[in-house]
Every structure is written in C-alpha cells, then in structure tokens.
Amino acid sequence: MNLTFRALISNLIRGSAGSADSETTKRLRALSLFLLILIITTLLLWLFYYLVGAVFLSYVTFIAALLGVAGIIILRKTNNLVASGHYALFVLWATLLLIKWNTGGMSAGSLLLLSWIWNAALILMAIYIAGYLGGTIWTTMVFLETGVAIILSRSGYQFPNLLSPTISPVYSLASYLVGLLVILLIAFQYESERDAVIEGDGTKSQALAESKRYVDTIIEASPLPTFVINREHRVVQWNRAIQEMTGFSEQEVVGKNVHKSLYADEQRSLADILVDEPDSIAKRFAESIVSKTESGAYQIETTLPAVRGGIQAIVTVAPVVDTGGSIKGAVEVIQDLTRLSGQKYTSHDNIEQAVEGSPSPVFTIDSNGKVSAWNRACENYLGYAFSQVAGKSPLTFVARPFRKSFRETVVRAFKGETCNGQEWKYYTAEGEARYVLANAYAIQASDGKSKQCVVVNTDVGDLKLRISKLERDETETREALKNMTNEYSLLRRNLATYIRGKGTGVFPEEPEVDKLKKEMQELRKEIEDLKEEQ
C-alpha cells in the first residue's frame, strides 16, 4: 500500500518527463509538485475553515483544490510550462486574495503579517516557474492589488473578518511564519540550482581537459607529420612523425616559431600564412592547390627543399577557430609524396611491411577494389583477421550510409588525389560501431606496375561523444546561469520592495526579514562571481 501511494505521488510529479531539455523538465516537475502541495494545503484549509465556521472560505478553498487537480491534468496533457504555470499562479493568487479579504488580511493592521509576506512568496514562485517575464507580470498584479488595498484602508473601508477575535492573532502569526518558511524554501531551491551550475562547470572543465588530452593523443599517434601553432605563431604540438621527418625533437621546437625548413615561402610556413592572411592562400598558391574546403582548409602540393635533401609533398593546413569563428591557430599535416611513391623506402622493402609497421589501423585496396593488406592494428581495432578480409570488398565492414562516400574516395585516390579527413563508420566482427577519421592516397605497389589505395584510420568515436556531451553541458550551463542571474536580479528588487515595504510607511522593520535579505544579497554576489568566471 505504501509503495503504491509512493508510486502514485512519483507519477504525478514525473508527468512532464517528455520535455525537450533538462532545465524545462526540472521546472515542469517543480510545477507539478507546486500544484500537488496547493491541492493538499487547500484541502487542509477547507477543513480548518469549515470547523471554525467560515463557510464561505471553506467553499473557496475546496474550489481551489479542484482547480489544482484540473491544473495537474492540463499540465500532463500539454506539458506547456508557461500556460500551466500562469494558471497555477492565478489559482494561488485568487485564493490568497479571497482569504485575505475575508480574514482582515487586507486591513492596515494585517498587511505585514499576511498580505505582504505571501505576496513576496507569490512573486518568487512566479520567477522560478514562469521566468523573468512571468515574474514581472505577477509583480505588476501584486502592485495593483497592494495599491487598491492601501486606498481602501485609508478611506476607512472595513474589511470583513470571518474569523473570531480569539483565533485571528494566532491565525495571522501562523500565516506569517508559514509564508516566511515558503520564502526560505524557495531560497534554498535557488541555492541548490547555483550549486548545480558550479558542479556543472567543474564537469565541463574536466571534459575539456579530457578532450584536449584525447586530441593530443590522436595528433601524437598520427603516422603523418603534423604540427600545431597558436595565434602568436608558436608551435604548441609537434608529433613523432614530424620529428622523424625534420630531425628536430619536440623540446627543440615547442614554444618557438616553425623551423624555416618547413617554410612555404621565404618567411613563413603555410600555417603561419593561414593565421595571418587566410584569404591570401587562394591567390598566392592558386596553381598548387589540390583541394580546399568551406571551413578554410587547403591542400597544396609543394616542394620542401630543406627536408631530407628535398621532397615533394602534399601539405594540408586547416585553421583552429573558437566558438565565435576567430582563428586561434592552425594545424599543418605533411605527406611525403617522394616516399609514398615507392621510390625511396628507407625503413621497409615493400608496401606490406610499411602497412604492417604502422601503429594506426591501416589497410590497402588493390585496383580491383579488394583488400590487399591489413595490419595488426586493424585486426585489433575491427576484430577481423587478414585471412577473413583478404581478397574481399572493404564495403563488407563499412556502414551502408557511408559506402557511397567510401567508393568515391577510393576512386579519387586512384586518380591521384589525396583525400584527408574522411568521416566513416565501420562495423567490427562483433557488430559494434567504430567511427574513424580516414586519409586515403594511392601508391605504387611492390611490383612497380600497379597502384594500391592506402587507407589510414584514426578512431574518433570517443571524441565525438565527448564533444557532443560537452556542447550539451555548455548550453545547459549558460542557460542556467543566464536564468539565475535574471531571476536573482528581480528577486533582490522585489524583496526590498515587498518585505521591507520601502516608501509605504505601513509596517516596521523585522529581524527575520533583514536576515533573509542579507542571505539573498550573498547569493546574488556568488552568482555574479560565477558569471565573471564564465
């Protein structure tokens, strides 16, 4: 029985789980809980007013409970936070207005104890549920209500009081204390959200650090000579392949300008030119451009006379940009065409040895479109032994949506193009998905007569998941911080106006109110500090 009741309550609160984002889901659940508390509270008030003989108020609270039930039904059917939120706030405001009007709560002597403290609670709930705009609307409504109450009170209007004189003082004090408790609970909810934002920032920072390490590992493990420079033209990454190509260690290069052996002209490398003058590359190297992309990356065939006595190379250069699109650095990848052509193998006698020795998953495709070489890294990565794929089409492990791109890339490679940065999806022998970033190029086969297409693969599956999660966390964190900043700004003004009663002269200062205001100011300062860190 207890489990059934608990499941029922959980289902009522969880009725809005199908919303678009976590922030909206949280507020929809908060609204469901608010309506549930409203129903329970109004039923208890119905019983209290009935027992003390306030028949009209018993009708009012019973109808409010029914309207609360209708609100939960509407919320579950529509999942509309704005409409359902304003509906719930209207039920609360109308119920409080009728109760205050008929219990002396609108008169001058009772403004402090009941009317003002609950007006503040109503505004805070409006801010939390309906946001900044909703809070402004209900603040205006409470202004009008308060103005009417003051005008009627000063004109001598006698508000009815359905409660007996012996009950009224205790009733008013209890109402004040409960209202103050509600305000504190809302304040604790804001504090909980602030902690969640801080925790989210910590998670985001950790994800950023892990993603950076992952990218660093990919660059370091790449079989192609690669380096990265920053906005100040200082080398920040220099992988092992380019150390072997140039003869300069990482310690000799990182933090300094690119060595002149990699210059594309008399003064700078292609990466340096891309950082300073990205639009000039298309004009200066128009006859040497192999390909270019809309993102600003270029492939240029050039000669590097100071590397290994002179090599012919395909140099790929791409910008590193921030979220605003500004260039913060550049990546440069060098492919030695002299070595890839089969003319000057220095470490291996044939292509099979070259493929087998690569630390990355590499396979080759012959002119008939069949797998002709398959290294051990491929066996470990995809789970197929060479005997299982030799002489077969590689399309057997390429995901269907990517097969067209795969075929076109292989055809282009056999025509002499170098195809870098191809995003494909493979399936392992166990049926698991593997996402790769692949480079494809053609070389002479060991017989010296035919060509083969070499496909070098780099796993990016974990990186794609991390980046996707990081983007979601960043969006949610920014939205939460923006909402909380706006809400706290309005909260501070409203509390100063409604709890302290500035300018009305109707009620005195209260120690509890001062304490609450101080807590709100401290919370606001912490949110501003968090915003500066962002």
Closest by Cα among 329, 335, 390 to 365:
390
Residue type, 522: E
422 located within any domain: yes
Quick check: is 329 in a domain? yes
Q: Is residue 301 part of a domain?
A: yes
In this structure, the answer to whether residues 394 and 432 fall within a common structural domain is: yes
Confidence (pLDDT) at 484? 64
Residues 327, 392: one domain? no
Is residue 65 a part of any domain in this protein? Answer: no
Are residues 309 and 259 both part of a single domain? yes
Both 338 and 408 in one domain: the answer is no
Same domain, 272 and 369: no
Residues 360 and 334 in one domain: no
> How far are the Cα atoms of 275, 301, 326, 331, 386 from residue 271, in angstroms, in the given order?
6, 14, 15, 7, 39
Q: How many CA atoms lie within 13 A of 517 on its CB side?
A: 15
Q: Do residue 385 and residue 333 come from a single domain?
A: no
Q: Is residue 256 part of a domain?
A: yes
Q: Which of 290, 319, 343 is the last residue of a domain?
A: 343
Residue 166 is which amino acid?
T
- Residue 330 and residue 391 share a domain: no
Is the distance from CB of 360 to CB of 457 less than 8 angstroms?
A: yes
Q: Determine which helix (DSSP H) or strand (DSSP E) holds 132, and give its type and residue range.
A: helix 117-154
Which domain-ending residue is among 343, 366, 383? Answer: 343
**Boundary residue ending a domain (463, 489, 520):** 463
Instruction: Give the residue carrying structure tokens 């403290």.
Output: 117
| Binned average pLDDT, 10 residues per bin, the chain of 534 residues | 50 49 70 82 85 86 89 84 84 84 65 59 76 81 79 76 72 68 67 60 56 61 82 88 85 87 84 87 81 80 80 84 80 74 42 66 90 88 89 92 92 84 89 88 72 85 60 64 63 57 47 59 65 56
Look up the domain containing 372 and give its range: 354-463
**Residue 40 Cα distances to 50, 143, 175, 237, angstroms:** 16, 28, 16, 63
Q: Is residue 516 in some structural domain?
A: no
H, E, C per residue of 356-405: HCCCCCEEEECCCCCEEEECHHHHHHHCCCHHHHCCCCHHHCECHHHHHH
Q: Does 282 lie in the same domain as 241?
A: yes
pTM (two decimals): 0.38
Spell 177-208 as b/e; 16+ CB within 10 A means b: eebbebbeebbeebeebbeebeebbeebeebe
CA distances from 25 to 14, 123, 186, 512 (A): 9, 21, 18, 33
| Identity of the residue numbered 364 | T
CATH code of residue 241: 3.30.450.20
CA atoms within 13 A on the CB side of 266: 0
| Residue 237 included in any domain | yes
Does residue 400 share a domain with residue 326? no
- Give yes or no: residues 233 and 337 share one domain: yes
What is the spatial distance between Cα 398 and Cα 17, in angstroms, rounded to a whole number? 37
Q: Are residues 234 and 258 in the same domain?
A: yes
For residue 210, being part of any structural domain is answered with no
How much helix, strand and coil, in percent to the nearest 5, is found in the chain?
60, 15, 25
The whole-number pLDDT of residue 503 equals 47
How many alpha carbons lie under 13 Å from residue 47 in its C-beta half-sphere?
Answer: 5
Number of domains in the chain: 2
The answer to whether 237 and 216 have CB atoms below 8 angstroms apart is: yes
